[in-house]
Amino acid sequence: MREGDVTRRRFLQSVGISGGAGALFATMGALGLAPVRAATPSFRAPQQSDFHLTGRAARKVVILGGGIAGLAAAYELGKAGYDCTVLEARAITGGRNLTIRGGNAETDLDGNTQRAAFSPGNYFNAGPARIAQWMVTLDYCRELGVPVQPFVNANADALIHNDGSAPIRFRTAKADVYGYVSELLAKATDQGALDSVLTPEDKGRLLAFLEDFGDIGEAHEYTGSFRRGFSVYPGAGTDNGTPLPGPPSLSEVFASNVGRHFSGEFSHDQAMMMFQPVGGMDRIAAALTAAVGRQRIRLGARVLSVTGRSSDVTVTFRQGGRDQAITADFCIATLPPNVMAKVPHNLGANVTSALSSFFPFSAGKIGMEYRSRWWENDLRIYGGITQTDLDITQIWYPSYDFHARRGVVVGYYNYGEQAEAYSALTPGARTARAVEQGVKIHGEKYRSELAGAFSVAWNRMPHVEGAWAYPGDYDSYRLLLEPAGRVYFAGDWLSNAIAWQHGSFLSARKAVTALHQRVLTA
Amino acid sequence: MREGDVTRRRFLQSVGISGGAGALFATMGALGLAPVRAATPSFRAPQQSDFHLTGRAARKVVILGGGIAGLAAAYELGKAGYDCTVLEARAITGGRNLTIRGGNAETDLDGNTQRAAFSPGNYFNAGPARIAQWMVTLDYCRELGVPVQPFVNANADALIHNDGSAPIRFRTAKADVYGYVSELLAKATDQGALDSVLTPEDKGRLLAFLEDFGDIGEAHEYTGSFRRGFSVYPGAGTDNGTPLPGPPSLSEVFASNVGRHFSGEFSHDQAMMMFQPVGGMDRIAAALTAAVGRQRIRLGARVLSVTGRSSDVTVTFRQGGRDQAITADFCIATLPPNVMAKVPHNLGANVTSALSSFFPFSAGKIGMEYRSRWWENDLRIYGGITQTDLDITQIWYPSYDFHARRGVVVGYYNYGEQAEAYSALTPGARTARAVEQGVKIHGEKYRSELAGAFSVAWNRMPHVEGAWAYPGDYDSYRLLLEPAGRVYFAGDWLSNAIAWQHGSFLSARKAVTALHQRVLTA
């Protein structure tokens, strides 16, 4: 998610390990010694053969929650023959891995019901929508046969918008900021201001870099660049194109603060390339569901209580208006911590307290279908994200079916207070507000071409009640990493990749590994 | 093409218009006044109805060359009912728009014959391979129903390699260079070295930008960043991941010169997003060919002479071993200028001289099919381009069929002397040399996993004899923008987008417009 770097830092601070991670940045010497590898923590899935030597047998496991963590746990345990049952309160699996298509309906905690009217082929990923190359999520796509395609997380032709000003393209903003930064640093270097920290060789190399990086030439002055883009691009014959007017002055460029949007794409979880499953993020949940087996998944099954004993665990749940119970050897609880905190259990007050210490965070998204792909046809924006200081925060252009007739834009993806402001509105009022804001960037066609919309306020989503959750303190976080008797906890909230499926998968693997090890050695 | 910005500048300098274009960068005032539009020069295709008012009729046109310019000219003229015949010397249309699949064969000017053995579904775009969002090429894809998908032109996880050092990822190199650049500029600013050019407000805004841009914190010191990447990415529980060792010192970073590779993706024709047709670049040529009508295209037809008269043009050509002639009202010559310069004609010594003034440029590419997609599976590189100072220049990872079993890597795409060095080798020796070099970056699997290769040396390709051609002087360029009697010239070489299909399309449109206007007003 766009603020991943921020949320990660916030998370690291919140669990008190920021200094530890920072201390790992020990200088190792010359460039080139850094190994080119990118792995996820090692994992060996449980296998049926694991039981041959130990004489033990796969056990029965009840899994609370059919989101990515719950499905992944059932999938991995299933490889060794564990008898898993997944209890999912919603009518479909996937949890926040939710893709909205025409005909899908959702009713929120306030009783608002929406039914999507998107045209066939169009969809809206209401939850996770992008996958970094290093994330284990891609490994599951490969293993499960879910085809992937690029997700456009950064686009030089997407826009940066400040309320009250006309938007500019990222390419223009970058050319100007990099131009002036290079000019300033070249000037300071030329004047000898950095002679105490730069050798003559350093200076020469730095200046050569800056001349190229900022397109400032040997005069060390930024006066514009083809990199800013053109209003009419170069053509045939003597048509050299019409460069955009500008650049603005250095003061104007820094006053506009456009540079604040550059670092998002440098972060370890946001840098391009990124990917999405072909046809919607829920293709992952669908593939996991098929691999687990639908007969192992109880839908519409809301957990009522968890009772752990020395030899087993009993979970009661309500399904189809009827209270039922299931007793298993182990339980893996993957509900959001704030939801799990409300489930009666006998696991101890410290567990309740630890679960309650997590605080859910609000985020909201709206999918808006347009009758034409004006962003491609008129603005030549093929996917990517426009950033704005309006409360919609950002507008996403679709990364699939380029050149199709219609397309679904994400009209806002906002967080915290801004998300809560939208979530307090009816779905119709959210759409109206998103349109009102988007018109400031894209003009009246943002209203006139709109065919329909569907919004999700995660804090108002039954059985989810938040976009993601942060740990309140490190002790609580640590406590839930250990099983409470025969009950294990898992989810992105117990990982260093909160709000990412990567975290859900790895947390599920961790719980599965611990459970399996226990069964093998008990 | 990666060096587009450089070639464009070189071109603008070569035609003497660099100053003129630069002068257009007039400051227009505050940020936000720059219009967000991106158009190609306006064009109205000829239509049959154009003839109603003038009482004139569509004429017969012979088009020399069935590459993109020739096909586009025939396609646009065909909309108004012109009777076009395309003469193409090669066995297929498309010219440099060439996609190699299993079974395709080519014989070069030295008599080397290669037959591709790529597996079904795999292909290699030997000529143009990427399309910027603003390029008219995408309009043709939309109009002709050729689906497009992202082409990965920049990837934070692709590598930068200096011979003798281990490669590092772009994300690591960027974090280090941006970190030290920010540290240096922040230091100079803090010391007051820029007080004469920065207001106190500018300073505050600049420093806030640098702290974020370089991840240098309030200490204004670069000590590493998560942006560099991890050898093991953050996982579940207390696994914070293993950041890459480093960073190297400032002197080491600038000595490595990794920053020279950053600006390529800022240029107006290389910035992401970029696109490619699904299934191979030649889907554009195939769609144009179908739209023109195969019956209008003579394949294997080599032009022998062009004779212009006041009332018509006669072109002789050899097809199937037989010399033939065609007489038409007009001719559009789209052969490469260096090839056209060798065709006998009566258009005047100045035309010959102008054609001869263009000089062809060498570029070569090799497609290498691998039995496994180790770049995805082992290195987590999903598409994109690794840059190296070895003579292979770059390695491209495929932007299609992610997670498939096999894949085709571009093992070199080099220019000028490096291309000529490879073109002087037999195809087998080119492959061996490309492997030898690639092993230095990717290790022995670069050799052991190789299934087959196919290389194209454009300077040795019959009927093409160059990757693209630059004008030698502006007068020659200008001369060929005007018709020589009834003969018009077109091609990317007569545009401000040399080596791009965009240039071919726009040049064809320009010739078509002039020809049609002449017919309507004659």
**C-alpha dihedral, A15 to A18 to A19 to A23, nearest 10°:** 130
**Chain A residue with Cα closest to B142:** A403
| Whether A347 and A481 share a structural domain | yes
Looking at B460, B486, B503, the residue that finishes a domain is: B460
Mean local confidence (pLDDT), B242-263: 96
Whether B237 sits inside 8 A of A403 (CB atoms) is no
pLDDT of B302 higher than 80: yes
pLDDT of residue A54: 86
Residue B22's identity, in one-letter code, is: G
Looking at A411, A439, A460, the residue that finishes a domain is: A460
Q: Determine, yes or no, domain membership for A385.
A: yes
Whether B27 sits inside 8 A of A246 (CB atoms) is yes
Q: Determine, yes or no, domain membership for B199.
A: yes
Q: Of A12, A27, A169, which has the smallest distance from its Cβ to B36's Cβ?
A: A169
Per residue in B369-386, pLDDT (tens digit) is 999 999 999 999 999 999
Whether B253 sits inside 8 A of A169 (CB atoms) is no
| Whether A351 and A478 share a structural domain | yes
To the nearest whole Å, the CA of A325 is away from the closest chain B CA by 30
pLDDT of B187 higher than 90: yes
Q: Of A21, A141, A272, which has the smallest distance from its Cβ to B272's Cβ?
A: A272
Pairing relationship of beta strands B384-388 and B159-161 according to DSSP bridges: parallel
Instruction: Output the domain CATH number for residue B205.
Output: 1.20.1440.240
pLDDT of B110 higher than 90: yes
| Whether A388 and A456 share a structural domain | yes
| Whether B336 and B421 share a structural domain | no
**Chain B residue with Cα closest to A236:** B495
| Whether B487 and B422 share a structural domain | no
List of chain A residues whose C-beta atoms are within 8 Å of the C-beta of residue B205: 254-255, 257
pLDDT of residue A522: 82
Mean local confidence (pLDDT), B149-176: 97
B306 SS3 class: strand
pLDDT of B2 higher than 70: no
Whether B233 sits inside 8 A of A40 (CB atoms) is yes
List of chain B residues whose C-beta atoms are within 8 Å of the C-beta of residue A494: 236-237
Q: Determine, yes or no, domain membership for A487.
A: yes
pLDDT of A34 higher than 50: no
Nearest to B431 by CA among B389, B369, B374: B369
To the nearest whole Å, the CA of B212 is away from the closest chain A CA by 7
Mean local confidence (pLDDT), B320-329: 98
In sequence order, which residues have a C-beta less than 8 Å from that of residue A204 and are 6 or more positions away?
Answer: none
Q: Confidence class of residue A7 from pLDDT cuts 50, 70 and 90?
A: very low
| Whether A147 and A122 share a structural domain | yes
Looking at A460, A489, A507, the residue that finishes a domain is: A460
Whether A185 sits inside 8 A of B187 (CB atoms) is no
Per residue in A96-143, pLDDT (tens digit) is 999 999 999 999 999 999 999 999 999 999 999 999 999 999 999 999
By the 8 A CB rule, do B241 and A496 touch? yes
Per residue in A265-274, pLDDT (tens digit) is 999 999 999 9
Domain that holds residue A509: 55-91+299-359+469-521
| Whether B276 and B392 share a structural domain | yes
Q: Determine, yes or no, domain membership for A309.
A: yes
To the nearest whole Å, the CA of B96 is away from the closest chain A CA by 19
Q: Confidence class of residue A180 from pLDDT cuts 50, 70 and 90?
A: very high
To the nearest whole Å, the CA of B160 is away from the closest chain A CA by 10
Instruction: Output the domain CATH number for residue A482.
Output: 3.50.50.60
**C-alpha dihedral, A225 to A228 to A231 to A236, nearest 10°:** 50
List of chain B residues whose C-beta atoms are within 8 Å of the C-beta of residue A178: 266
pLDDT of residue A36: 65
List of chain A residues whose C-beta atoms are within 8 Å of the C-beta of residue B257: 205, 209
| Chain B interface, best mutation among A148, A160, A272, by max B CB count within 10 A | A272
Per residue in A408-450, pLDDT (tens digit) is 999 999 999 999 999 999 999 999 999 999 999 999 999 999 9
pLDDT of residue A18: 34
Whether B234 sits inside 8 A of A177 (CB atoms) is no
| Whether A335 and A379 share a structural domain | no
Triad B341, B342, B346: Cα angle to 5°: 75
Q: Residue B430: phi, psi to the nearest 5? A: -65, -45
| Chain B interface, best mutation among A184, A233, A440, by max B CB count within 10 A | A233
| Whether B276 and B369 share a structural domain | yes
| Whether A455 and A474 share a structural domain | no
| Whether B330 and B235 share a structural domain | no
Q: Across the A/B interface, how many CB contacts are shorter than 8 Å?
A: 450
Beta strands in A329-449 (DSSP E): 330-333, 359-361, 363-370, 384-388, 394-397, 407-415
**The whole model's pTM is what?**
0.93
Whether A402 sits inside 8 A of B5 (CB atoms) is no
pLDDT of A12 higher than 60: no
| CA distances in angstroms from B115 to A207, B102, B406, listed in the order given | 48, 8, 19
| Chain B interface, best mutation among A191, A254, A505, by max B CB count within 10 A | A254
Q: Of B226, B246, B399, which has the smallest distance from its Cβ to A27's Cβ?
A: B246
Q: Which sign does the torsion angle of CA B421, B427, B428, B432 carry?
A: positive
Instruction: Output the domain CATH number for residue B377.
Output: 3.90.660.10
Task: Indicate the number of domains in chain B.
Answer: 3
Q: Determine, yes or no, domain membership for A305.
A: yes
Q: Residue A40: phi, psi to the nearest 5? A: -100, 160
**Chain A residue with Cα closest to B277:** A402
Q: Determine, yes or no, domain membership for A376.
A: yes
Q: Determine, yes or no, domain membership for B21.
A: no
List of chain A residues whose C-beta atoms are within 8 Å of the C-beta of residue B507: 236-237
Q: Determine, yes or no, domain membership for A17.
A: no
Mean local confidence (pLDDT), B6-34: 35
ipTM value: 0.93
Full DSSP string of B27-84: --SSTT-S----BPPP-----TTHHHHHT----EEEEE--BHHHHHHHHHHHTTT-EE
Q: Confidence class of residue A52 from pLDDT cuts 50, 70 and 90?
A: confident
Mean local confidence (pLDDT), B13-36: 34
| Whether A422 and A377 share a structural domain | yes
By the 8 A CB rule, do A186 and A218 touch? no
Per residue in B228-245, pLDDT (tens digit) is 999 999 999 999 999 999
Mean local confidence (pLDDT), B452-472: 97
The Cα A118–Cα A452 span in angstroms is: 7
Per residue in A370-414, pLDDT (tens digit) is 999 999 999 999 999 999 999 999 999 999 999 999 999 999 999
